[in-house]
Amino acid sequence: MVITELLERNAEQYPNDVALVEVNPPSGEEHHITWRDYSLIEGSNKDAFRSEITWKEFDRKANRFANLLLSRGIKKGDKVAILLMNCLEWLPIYFGILKAGALAVPLNYRYTADEIKYCVGLAEADVLIFGPEFTGRVESICNRLKNVQCTFYVGDDCPTFAESYDKLVTYCSTHAPKVELCEDDEAAIYFSSGTTGFPKAIVHAHRSLIHACRVEQNHHGQTKDDVFLCIPPLYHTGAKMHWFGSLISGGKAVLLKGIKPEWIIRTVSEERCTIVWLLVPWAQDILDAIDRGEIKLEEYHLSQWRLMHIGAQPVPPSLIKRWQKYFPNQKYDTNYGLSESIGPGCVHLGVDNIHKVGAIGKAGFGWQTRIVDENRNDVKPGEVGELAVKGPGVMNCYFNDEKATAEVLEDGWLFTGDMAREDEDGFIYLVDRKKDVIISGGENIYPVQIEDFLRSNEAVKDAAVIGLPDKRLGEITAAIIELKEGANTTEEDINDFCTELPRYKRPRKIIFADVPRNPTGKIEKPKLRQIYCGESLVESQIKS
């Protein structure tokens, strides 16, 4: 089976059921409209804030774009780059590319013009489709995109250097094109997060995508009645692969274009969401807003919200303890994965293992795990080593990069670069990224352990720990600490708090500043090293 068959099945079985909802919280000229006001708006006036499509409409849109691509000479194996913010068109465009037999190439919406050019070139994309937010960036490089044959624009006021997607697809057939596909066919190219330097192009087959659907449903038990709230960007494997649970079950999903705590809670209430995937900062913001009295939970319909899960980064146990205080009846799960392993799910905690919060869990559905030393031999339980995973969701390769592929793939095992240990019950705990380990006076120091400890301080909103060069010790630990609003904590307070840590783990330098994270929640360590270590970009990439 290939993943497009699931869409076609839903269109046939549930043609008039809502597949996707887009919610746009008030902004700009409408900023004065509160969510309370919004809930009172009726009829067509609500369209400015909310729109939806059925499964039948979803499938027809995908077919139209597939037929448009084929009419332009796009053939099986060609690549189509997507540069869009989350919107109702995003997933139909993605599936239209797959139906045409081409590879979908989602692009990070934070990319600069040069980064867009680099990634489009690296993937050898034949088509670029983009939205209004990117007009300036695309215009500045459109004459330098060597492989690109067609450039399509999604939205009103199409620029002169592109063609209007909205107008062109209206003339295309709504019937599925006759392109034969199998699980071994290549389906998509995703890019590594870029937190380690230049992104790598990750090739996945249809087999990976369909396995991601099965993993998600197996882990979280999605049914037709579930409503999934999707907030992270769809260009990333995490958001899309969690949405695959809605695809395989035929359930509704809501795309929320905003991360303010009130928007999230209000959307859960208004749309009767049952499953919500959050990043650590968003969950913290929600809890802080409740603590401050800005969100009063009794004003919302939240009893149907059965599962909150977190991925993309280590989860502080203190956060989940706080969450359970306000949401005691919810199930909780955490998911671990990489873009190279088709996103979340190769390791997961499991909803019945709340007593193991802090662990990333055990091998996910259809997956195997190992923890190995520098020679790729298995380490003993309790020892720290590199986590390796194996399963149907492992990437085919890094596109056109045999050397990088050989470094991480061996006999079907993907070596993740994440340092981990396994406890006596077989649960895996992340220790840190291999490249982020700080070596100070011969001691290996794992920043994640210190970051988790610092976040347990009631005044700390977020924390990142990096190594600073030191002539005597090689490196010393520095903690970049982002305080909660109104907190008056001092460096002396933090140092006193850290006396509970072993002496060698205590930060030698405290810096009060914002902690930068990318759209998928990962701390941007190279950026911090550039700021505080004085590393050049090249040096940062070498270290990474």
- As a three-state string, the secondary structure of 353-404 is CHHHECECEEECCCCEEEEECCCCCECCCCCCEEEEEECCCCCCEECCCHHH
CB 381 within 8 A of CB 410: no
Instruction: List all residues 6 or more positions away from 405 whose beta carbon is below 8 Å from its beta carbon.
Output: 397, 398
> pLDDT digits over 498-534, tens only?
998 878 789 999 999 999 887 667 788 878 888 887 6
Residue 204 burial by Cβ neighbours in a 10 Å radius (0-12, 13-18, 19+): buried
pLDDT for 354 beyond 80: yes
Average pLDDT, the chain: 89
Between 4-13 and 237-249, two packed helices, what is the crossing angle to 10 degrees? 40
Residue 535 burial by Cβ neighbours in a 10 Å radius (0-12, 13-18, 19+): middle
Mean pLDDT of 89-110: 96
Distances (CA, A) of 509 to 142, 241, 480: 46, 39, 9
Quickly state the pLDDT bin for 27 (edges 50, 70, 90). Answer: low
Q: Fold for domain 437-543?
A: GMP Synthetase; Chain A, domain 3 (3.30.300)
Mean pLDDT of 100-126: 93
User: How far is residue 129's CA from residue 17's CA, in Å, rounded to a whole number?
Assistant: 28
Mean pLDDT of 212-238: 94
User: How far is residue 538's CA from residue 519's CA, in Å, rounded to a whole number?
Assistant: 23
User: In this predicted structure, what is the pLDDT of residue 195?
Assistant: 41
The DSSP 8-state label assigned to residue 338 in this structure reads E
Q: What are phi and psi of 33, to 5 degrees?
A: -80, 120
- Give me 490's structure tokens: 């001092």
Least confident of 35-39, 138-142, 317-321: 35-39
**Rounded to the nearest 5 degrees, what angle is found at the Cα of 445, between the Cα atoms of 340 and 426?**
55
Quickly state the pLDDT bin for 43 (edges 50, 70, 90). Answer: low
User: In this predicted structure, what is the pLDDT of residue 538?
Assistant: 30
Residue 97: which region, alpha, beta or left (left: phi > 0; alpha: psi -120 to 50)?
alpha
pLDDT for 544 beyond 60: no
> Cα Rg for the chain, rounded, in angstroms?
23
User: How far is residue 361's CA from residue 346's CA, in Å, rounded to a whole number?
Assistant: 10
Q: Nearest CA to 286 among 254, 317, 259? A: 259
pLDDT for 477 beyond 80: yes
User: In this predicted structure, what is the pLDDT of residue 15?
Assistant: 98
CB 316 within 8 A of CB 359: no
Least confident of 32-41, 147-156, 338-347, 415-424: 32-41
pLDDT for 535 beyond 50: no
User: In this predicted structure, what is the pLDDT of residue 46?
Assistant: 54
Q: Nearest CA to 295 among 310, 308, 278, 283? A: 283
User: In this predicted structure, what is the pLDDT of residue 158?
Assistant: 97
> pLDDT digits over 227-284, tens only?
999 998 999 888 899 999 999 999 999 999 988 999 999 999 999 999 999 988 789 8
